[in-house]
A and B are shown apart, each in its own frame.
Chain A
Amino acid sequence: EAGVTQFPSHSVIEKGQTVTLRCDPISGHDNLYWYRRVMGKEIKFLLHFVKESKQDESGMPNNRFLAERTGGTYSTLKVQPAELEDSGVYFCASSATGVSYGYTFGSGTRLTVV
């Protein structure tokens, strides 16, 4: 089966610009998660979708970040306007059941804001 796919793999943007990251989960996985790793620190939870609904967005850093999951399929994470501190690696994961040991992670999007 195809894994979790993330686009783009790398993105370099200027401060103040907008960037949209995309995640295609494994087909049939209702649960989709976004995480990010900033500046070599811990990987931190951003939010959790169950189908198209946001189940938990407690990790979203501020209102410059907007996540959507249209029709319960792929998800996008938009950063507008981007700031320098948003640089990092953004990971997406999906699971059939809502438990962490069922995760499959994507390869991540490395975002650099200059």
Chain B
Amino acid sequence: AQSVAQPEDQVNVAEGNPLTVKCTYSVSGNPYLFWYVQYPNRGLQFLLKYITGDNLVKGSYGFEAEFNKSQTSFHLKKPSALVSDSALYFCAVPPPSNDYKLSFGAGTTVTVRA
């Protein structure tokens, strides 16, 4: 079965420092991989996706993610974090047989301190 794991429940960084949110995957074949973010009192918002092509994917709000096949990882990164990036981040993957259904990681709470 397709699955993703987010090894860190929480990530704390200072504003202006690099931010990394980790995700590893377990899938058969070539995966589709997604990142979503939930800001306080808001819905889940799509950040970026990897389908195929370049391993470095750029998304919304200055975020990017690197697909690493050898390490089965899809870490989310931002070079310089903002306080407004404080939110809950989810990695997700659909199964190959029915790509309408997402499997999410447990989520990582990011806190950026001023």
Contact A101–B42 (Cβ < 8 Å)? no
- Whether B104 contacts A43 by the Cβ 8 Å rule is yes
State the total of A-B contacts with C-beta under 8 angstroms: 68
| A43 x B43 contact (CB < 8 A) | no
Q: What CA separation (Å) do A33 and B98 show in the bound complex?
A: 13
Q: What is the size category of the interface that chain B forms with chain A?
A: 20 to 34
Q: Determine which residue in A41, A42, A104, A105 has the highest number of CB atoms from chain B within 10 A of its CB, and name it.
A: A42
Within B79-114, the residues touching A (CB, 8 Å) are 90, 92, 94, 98-107
Stretch of B12-20, B44-52, B69-77 lying at the A interface: B44-52
List residues of chain B with CB within 8 A of the CB of A35. Answer: 102, 104
Question: In whole angstroms, what is the CA distance A36 to B76 when docked?
Answer: 23
* Bound form: Cα–Cα A97–B7 in Å: 32
Question: Of the candidates A33, A41, A105, which one forms a contact with B106 in the assembled complex, judged by CB atoms under 8 Å apart?
Answer: A41
Chain B residue, CB-CB nearest to A43: B104
**B103–A45 CB distance below 8 A:** yes
Choose one: A33, A45, A100, A108; the contact of B32 (CB below 8 Å). Answer: A100
**Of the candidates A56, A100, A106, A107, which one forms a contact with B102 in the assembled complex, judged by CB atoms under 8 Å apart?**
A100
Q: Is A98 an interface residue (CB 8 A)?
A: yes
Q: How far is A6 from B42 in the complex, measured between Cα atoms in Å?
A: 11
Total residues of chain A contacting the partner, CB 8 A: 30
Given A91-B43, A103-B102, 11 more contacts at CB 8 Å? A4-B43, A33-B101, A35-B102, A41-B106, A42-B106, A43-B104, A44-B104, A45-B101, A91-B44, A101-B51, A105-B36
Task: List chain B positions with a Cβ less than 8 A from chain A.
Answer: 32, 34, 36, 41-46, 49, 51, 90, 92, 94, 98-107
The 24 sampled A-B contact pairs (Cβ below 8 Å) are A3-B43, A4-B43, A35-B102, A35-B104, A40-B106, A42-B103, A42-B105, A42-B106, A43-B44, A43-B90, A45-B102, A48-B101, A55-B100, A56-B101, A91-B44, A100-B34, A100-B92, A100-B99, A103-B102, A104-B46, A105-B43, A105-B44, A107-B41, A108-B43
A interface residues, Cβ below 8 angstroms from B: 3-4, 6, 9, 31, 33, 35, 37, 40-45, 48, 55-56, 91, 93, 95, 98-101, 103-108
